[in-house]
Amino acid sequence: MITFQILLFAGDREKMKSHSVEIAVSETATIGNLAEKLNQEYPSIFPRPEGLVFAVNRDYATFDQPISETDEIAIIPPVSGGYL
């Protein structure tokens, strides 16, 4: 397992009362796996994992993108209201 410190902003940061959240996933995990894990561990804060938008190393990422230990991962809340 690898533990990722996922950066949080705006409403997500306020709801989690933290600038980041730790999520552990397998070595072969993708962004989609991270989204599912976030939903399992914090269902009230991330009720729709399929609507989450992530950035990996400061670039928008797709759900099938693999992630590795040194990646900087962030959840990008909607900038125009409502999850995508």
Partner 1 sequence: MIIITDTPLDPNQFTEAVKGTAHGAVITFLGTTREETAGKKVLYLEYESYDPMASEKLHELCDEIRQKWAVKDIAIGHRVGKLEIGEISLVVALSSAHRNEAFESCIYLVDRLKETVPIWKKEVFEDGEIWVDAH
Q: Which is nearer to partner 1, 40 or 83 (CB)?
A: 83
Which value, in Å, is the radius of gyration of the alpha carbons in the chain? 12
As a whole number of angstroms, the longest Cα–Cα distance in the chain is: 35
Q: By CB under 8 A, is residue 9 in contact with partner 1?
A: yes
Which range binds partner 1 by CB under 8 A, 20-28, 29-37, 53-61, 62-70? 53-61
Q: Which is nearer to partner 1, 38 or 56 (CB)?
A: 56
Strand bridging mode 59-60 / 54-56: antiparallel
Q: How far is the CB of 8 from partner 1 (least distance, A)?
A: 10
Q: Residue 20 forms beta bridges with which residues?
A: 7
Q: By CB under 8 A, is residue 11 in contact with partner 1?
A: yes
CA gap 3, 26 in Å, rounded: 9
- The number of beta carbons lying within 10 Å of the beta carbon of residue 34 is 25
Applying CB under 8 A, the residues found at the interface with partner 1 are 7, 9-11, 13, 55, 58-60, 74, 76-77, 79-81
